[in-house]
Amino acid sequence: MTTEAQQFASDNYAGICPEAWAAMEAANTGHAPAYGDDRWTHTAADAFRTLFETECEVFFAFNGTAANSLALAALCQSYHSVICSAAAHVETDECGAPEFFSNGSKLLVAQGEDGKLTPAAVRAVATSRSDIHFPKPRVVTITQPTETGQVYTVDEVQALSAVCRELGLKLHMDGARFAHAVATLGCDPADITWRAGVDVLCFGGTKNGMAIGEAVLFFDRALAQDFDYRCKQAGQLASKMRFLAAPWVGMLENGAWLRNARHANTCAQRLAGQIQGLPGVELMFPVEANGVFVQAPEAVLEGLRARGWRFYTFIGGGARFMFAWDADPGRVDQLAADIRAVSGETALAA
């Protein structure tokens, strides 16, 4: 089969990075015990503990839908609720998975200005009701970075965890692109997670260069009780676990996770830098991770499509471009050039 030209519609379009692939290949030798009782799984879990500088509990799930939903289900009973941003992936793009895994825990949307939750917004929702007809708030979930590519600072996470502790809430971080946030922040992974008060992190591997797989890290180990049973029952226990674990070893042991994310972020900056100030074209959000959201007239988007580009669009005329570990800078430049060209033509025509 021939290869398609690189598109930036999604960072899920990329394949498996060399480090993850090599680790899978190395794991594919001989026999190994099943269900996680193998050396690769232990090594991968230890690699997370080393990276995060703490004795966290580590579990491996197949994808982010499951990782986040299982983590939230572990923190909630069915009559509890989860406070999230209106733009949170769990709210907008999981087809009801959190409600399914938890058997009914309701997501409560807190209003924020730019997709990030604030302590005030959390407090407003959490304290809005205390009667039995309202599902009891129990967890706050934040997406780091957000769906539109903004990164919570350490201070922001600390402020959120402070209000969580005050109100008896747990703090969950959906880190489908966690590596990209760390790459931007330049901090230790521990600083933006447990040291800042995060209880559970879902660390995404797929968008970071793996074929499949997310890790669920419980920094509050008591919350991990029986989580292995929960994964098993929910169809998230791999029998040949080594193949879910080994890529993590490849990603973590030599820093590929961070290199991949840095490269992707750099490509986003590269595009953003080349299209700023073009007529009619605006960045919808600050570019802080691996995505660029471009507001442009429909004619511009149409022109890009005509030149072969694929991308997701938003109501009101926005286009999303996401960069993966293997984004080709030359291809990024092509995209920038096409945006320039099309926006120039459109401005002329207007």
Bridge-based pairing of strands 200-204 and 80-85 is: unpaired
Q: Which of 252, 172, 165 is nearest to 208 (CA)?
A: 252
227: helix, strand or coil:
helix
d(CA 225, CA 227): 5
The DSSP symbol for 196 reads G
Using CB under 8 A as the binding rule, whether residue 334 contacts a copy of itself is answered as no
Q: Which of 228, 253, 282, 333 binds a copy of itself (CB under 8 A)?
A: 228
Total number of residues that touch a copy of itself (CB under 8 A): 80
Tokens of 6: 């690189």
Q: How many CA atoms lie within 13 A of 55 on its CB side?
A: 2
Q: Which of 113, 155, 222, 235 binds a copy of itself (CB under 8 A)?
A: 235
Residue among 84 and 157 whose Cβ is closer to a copy of itself: 84
Shortest separation between residue 123's beta carbon and a copy of itself, angstroms = 14
Residue among 6 and 158 whose Cβ is closer to a copy of itself: 6
Q: Which of 48, 51, 60, 65 binds a copy of itself (CB under 8 A)?
A: 65
**Binding residues among 22-41 for a copy of itself as defined by CB under 8 A:** 24, 26-35, 39-40
Q: What is the DSSP string of 58-109?
A: EEEESSHHHHHHHHHHHH--TTEEEEEETT-HHHHSSTTHHHHHHTSPEEEE
Using CB under 8 A as the binding rule, whether residue 232 contacts a copy of itself is answered as yes
Using CB under 8 A as the binding rule, whether residue 226 contacts a copy of itself is answered as yes
Using CB under 8 A as the binding rule, whether residue 170 contacts a copy of itself is answered as no
d(CA 204, CA 145): 11
At a CB cut-off of 8 Å and minimum separation 6, what does 301 contact? 311, 313, 317, 319
Q: Which of 187, 212, 223, 299 binds a copy of itself (CB under 8 A)?
A: 212
Contact letters (x/-) for a copy of itself, 104-143, by CB under 8 A? Answer: xxx-------------------------xxxxx-------
Residue among 54 and 334 whose Cβ is closer to a copy of itself: 334
Q: Which of 22, 49, 54, 79 binds a copy of itself (CB under 8 A)?
A: 79
**Binding residues among 237-256 for a copy of itself as defined by CB under 8 A:** 237-240, 243-244
Shortest separation between residue 91's beta carbon and a copy of itself, angstroms = 9
Shortest separation between residue 209's beta carbon and a copy of itself, angstroms = 10
Q: Which stretch binds a copy of itself (CB under 8 A): 44-52, 59-67, 191-199, 295-303?
A: 59-67
**Binding residues among 273-332 for a copy of itself as defined by CB under 8 A:** 324
Give the Å distances, CA to CA, from 336 to 25, 147, 269, 294, 304: 37, 22, 11, 11, 10
Amino acid in position 90: V
d(CA 181, CA 258): 10
Shortest separation between residue 226's beta carbon and a copy of itself, angstroms = 7
- Do the Cβ atoms of 70 and 234 come closer than 8 Å? yes
Residue among 104 and 280 whose Cβ is closer to a copy of itself: 104
